[in-house]
Amino acid sequence: MGAPRARAKLTSPAVLIAAVRRGGLAQAIALFALAIVLPFVFPSGAFVNFLADAGAFVLLALGLNIVIGFAGLLDLGYAAFFAIGSYAFAMLASPQFGIHLPFWVLLFLASGIAALFGILLGAPTLRLRGDYLAIVTLGFGEIVPQTFLNLSQWTGGPNGIGSLDQPTIGAYKFGFNALPYYLMILALIALAVWVANNLRHSRLGRAWMAIREDELAAAHMGINTTATKLAAFAMGASFSGLAGCAYAAKLQLVSPDQFGFNVSVGLISMLVLGGMGNVPGVILGAIVISSLDRYILPQGTNFFHSIGMTGVDLTGSRFLIYGLILVMMMLFRPEGLLPSRQRKAELRGAAGDPGVAGQEAALYTEAVK
């Protein structure tokens, strides 16, 4: 009887999801191992290219989760840091200025530059709250691509910057094969997950969550709310810089139209769909939205065209489809597909539960230890 129960325990999707929710190390390793094997099982070039692009957006969503999910700061201009990381790499690894720094140096340099701009944006604006902060970040997200567009003598204007240096490992060049880029992005995701999980359970992470729940109460408990929110902006921007550098290296091109407002909205949708504040949920949301945007809808359009329904264009209706998905989620599962236990309790009407109230009191107490 023990063997069938063990097999059921291993194969049950509900048990697997619960284990991933708890952040079990063995389950995380198993999922990353599956991600590594996936392009070898399905070696289609288009599929591997999709995996690499989706991985970049998973990395972006993990960074935005720190800002919105952990600290509760609504950032509508997160794509700006994506642009800054991409252009930092492009300017220092192309014929544009004749500077050709090694990719592995630029990877973390671009992350640092994006974090610096996160501090520069946050320092004068993070005293704002709610809608006012959202409007400021929205403005910043619109200003940055336009700035890169107008500084054509340095950024190439609407044509962008091309002929970027390709990553190398010793004598091996990544070239135009998507597989090494995918494996590199997967390694960056593993690093980002490790950092995000450690931050979440650190003193800084507890301070972020205290601010998210009630900024006034957190301030009265002794938390420096401005510095703590600034740290969230800088850390989230650094993840975006990593993704921007890796994504630009893969595309071999950076142009302003890659960083529009729709990118920021798409990333927020990934958080809402997957489960804001929960790392596995954010990854799931990013994979689902990326799959729809870059694989399912284009393949669906091709299928309808192949059977003579040439008037059907699913890719042109992507925002309608995203909107319907989000409306349905808000109506029937507002906490997301894989929510954190705290957020699920909040959105399912457990606010009157004394156990939940006790957990919130403990959260504030831990944040100032």
Q: The whole model's pTM is what?
A: 0.85
Q: Does the structure show a pLDDT above 80 at 56?
A: yes
Q: Does the structure show a pLDDT above 50 at 198?
A: yes
Residue 334 lies in a domain: no
CA distance 153 to 47: 37
Residue 244 lies in a domain: yes
pLDDT tens-digit readout, 127-158: 788 888 889 999 999 999 999 999 988 999 99
Q: Which of 185, 227, 213, 229 is nearest to 340 (CA)?
A: 213
Residues spanned by the domain of 212: 56-261
CB-count burial class (<10 Å; 0-12, 13-18, 19+) for 129: middle
Q: 318-332 and 261-274 are packed helices; what angle lies between their axes, rounded to 10 degrees?
A: 30
Q: Does the structure show a pLDDT above 60 at 13?
A: no
Q: Does the structure show a pLDDT above 80 at 218?
A: yes
**Backbone φ, ψ for residue 97 (5° rounding):** -120, 0
Residue 41 lies in a domain: no
Mean pLDDT of the chain: 84
Mean pLDDT for 279-298 is 90
Q: So what's the pLDDT on residue 354?
A: 46
Identity at 181, one-letter amino acid code: Y
Residue 299 lies in a domain: no
pLDDT tens-digit readout, 226-274: 899 999 999 999 999 999 999 999 999 999 999 988 899 899 999 999 9
Residue 292 lies in a domain: no
Residue 71 lies in a domain: yes
Residue 24 lies in a domain: no
Residue 93 lies in a domain: yes
Number of domains in the chain: 1
3-state per-residue secondary structure call for 26-60: HHHHHHHHHHHHHHHHCCCHHHHHHHHHHHHHHHH
Q: So what's the pLDDT on residue 193?
A: 93
